[in-house]
A and B are shown apart, each in its own frame.
Chain A
């Protein structure tokens, strides 16, 4: 017994040594080299993991660049969105960011700028004159310096509706005013369908797709910057009323009653399957809905109706630009040149065209290519006039967290709109 065991132990130990040795040798120090020979290697992290049309277009643009620049190697890491942020923050703490890194506007971008981890692109900005709309650059602009370019514009709040179900309730057109909208909700309820599908488990939907929009209708688009500068307060009656609108919708049971325990993918399913008549969601759902809905001609898209007493532009839609790529501040010389070359090649007319074909709205001044869906054209028209800020892309993280959980508590009746407003103002005051 003992001999056998000892022999086995020996075996285990030796196997282990082997494994460890192979593990050691299999990873020669492949430091993101300054290029052995003539090749320049750039590390690039993004979130393009799942094979969505947008990701495919992005990956294609990278491939195209590599083909045209055989002496530059782009070493990508594709990491899912949620994990990406954990990883980037850890790497940033160790001053180990990759050469090129995908960045989001607002709360995600400013710390990178403040920590001097990324460098501005102002030197090469003129390359995009005439292609990217000037007013779309502001999200990635911090204190007059441009840190990334946008690939897409994403309205976060569109009302998707089922034309047939609305017609059944007596509505040929989408209601123009909030009062009429409420009547519609009541009529839909009588027909035993879910008026508005909502999955707010992850807590950001009510904030990003509802608060950003309804808030803007009530307060106007300067409200958030004013609050951050201390010129206005969240306790402003207009803002409180806006929260009240969300509360009202919840109280009149406009949503499916499990709205706090399902997620935004499940809520989209309810709309696609025809269980719900409306869905208030971002433009990110456009592609998936068109793909999944059996009869997509019955889908209509509208903006949230105007609200009586609102100070905002009733045509405004909350939107944020995305898929920016920032350059590591450590990049110099040849690598910097290569990285800039990459950005020039990546944000091209061709890429924007591909994105439009994938039902993505772009910030570029180009003619829509053939084969663009009717729905995208409509969204593009709807969002043409006035863009309102999105809460989580504008506010500091702690304030966003407070809104996210607070809105959930308001819909459950655990907190009043006034209390939420006070809590938010306290969170803003703490930031200073």
Chain B
């Protein structure tokens, strides 16, 4: 890296196209949106400057705090559910199995399929009267465990989280599989000669070499979970009550149902800062563990 400072111009040329498009068509609208956060605006009449009133309101808004709590649950479910499971299956598939390719393809299917279908299928499986899960539980004599999965406030968030975990394992699966390709075969050969068992090889060679990729996955999880919208919107529309309300959904409703563009922008600003804080926190934790 030492000698590369003389490549300033090529670097500038290389980065410029991406940066220009990004600045113009992502950053400009984002900044505009942040600007609305100090305004009272319904989109129909004149904008009015209200200072920090929207922020104050958010801090006193129970729905906002509830949504934040649910969002953190989604983050936790994703980070501790999706990442380990994806890693587990990636390691299994990476063992040069027959049909490995088939399993990888199947694993990716939930990412491909429409959210509408996912929420329909899962909604029906969760259904309390004739859903698959309750029937299964009854079938194996655990009828007492049957629940009104999506209709009961105690279980709704849990059920939604399970579906979310399922939906995105495939994405991290292929990211991990791609990263696993990057670990040179020779290292394993050497370890094998040294007599390290499969489990040991995984723990002491593979995982440390995957640390960066795991970090990438965790950060993707966090950013994705805090913006999560579609699936919950179709599956529960935030109900029952507000028990499965998440921030992005609340922001959407405030913006387009109540037409409070100012308050909606404030909420999106909060989403941004929460994600930033969580991302920062996670890099701190993962780095410490590594060094």
Contact = CB atoms under 8 A, between A and B. Distances in A.
A405 B239 contact: yes
B44 A114 contact: yes
A408 interface: yes
Contacts of B128: 257-258, 261
A62 interface: no
A271 B240 CA distance: 23
B237 A201 contact: yes
Interface residues of A, number: 32
Interface in B40-57: 42-45
Given A201-B236, A262-B127, A89 B151 contact: no
B69 to A, nearest CB: 15
Nearest to A200: B239
Contact of B240 (A117, A398, A412): A412
Nearest to A110: B44
6 contacts: A89-B256, A92-B44, A201-B237, A261-B151, A261-B236, A405-B239
Contact of B45 (A86, A115, A408): A115
A408 B259 contact: no
A260 B123 CA distance: 12
Interface of A: 85-86, 89-90, 92-93, 111-112, 114-115, 117, 200-203, 256-262, 397-398, 401, 405-406, 408-409, 412, 414-415
A398 B261 CA distance: 14
Contact of A260 (B240, B242, B258): B240
Contact of B256 (A86, A112, A258): A86
Given A257-B128, A261-B128, A412-B153, A111 B42 contact: yes
Contacts of A414: 153, 241
A401 to B, nearest CB: 7
B126 interface: yes
Contacts of A256: 129
Interface residues of B, number: 28
Given A114-B44, A115-B45, A258 B261 contact: no
Interface string B147-177: 0111111000000000000000000000000
A257 B151 contact: yes
A153 to B, nearest CB: 25
Given A257-B129, A258-B148, A401 B258 contact: yes
A29 B261 CA distance: 30
Given A115-B43, A412-B153, 15 more contacts: A89-B43, A89-B256, A89-B259, A111-B43, A202-B237, A203-B239, A256-B129, A258-B150, A259-B151, A260-B148, A261-B123, A401-B258, A405-B242, A408-B241, A414-B241
A397 B43 contact: no
Interface string B217-259: 0000000000000000000111111100000000001001111
B43 A93 contact: yes
Contacts of B44: 92-93, 111-112, 114-115, 117
B261 A260 contact: no
Nearest to B57: A430
B127 A92 contact: no
A388 B31 CA distance: 46
B241 A405 contact: yes
Contact of A85 (B123, B240, B256): B256
Contacts of A86: 256
Contacts of A260: 148, 150-151, 239-240
A281 to B, nearest CB: 18
Contacts of B256: 85-86, 89
Nearest to B127: A258
A20 to B, nearest CB: 13
A408 B129 contact: no
Contacts of A401: 253, 257-258
A419 to B, nearest CB: 12
Instruction: Give the interface centre of B42, B44, B129, B256 by most chain A CB atoms within 10 Å.
Output: B44
B239 A111 contact: no
Contact of B151 (A92, A258, A409): A258
Given A92-B43, A414-B241, A261 B148 contact: yes
A410 B127 CA distance: 21
A260 B242 CA distance: 12
B241 A397 contact: no
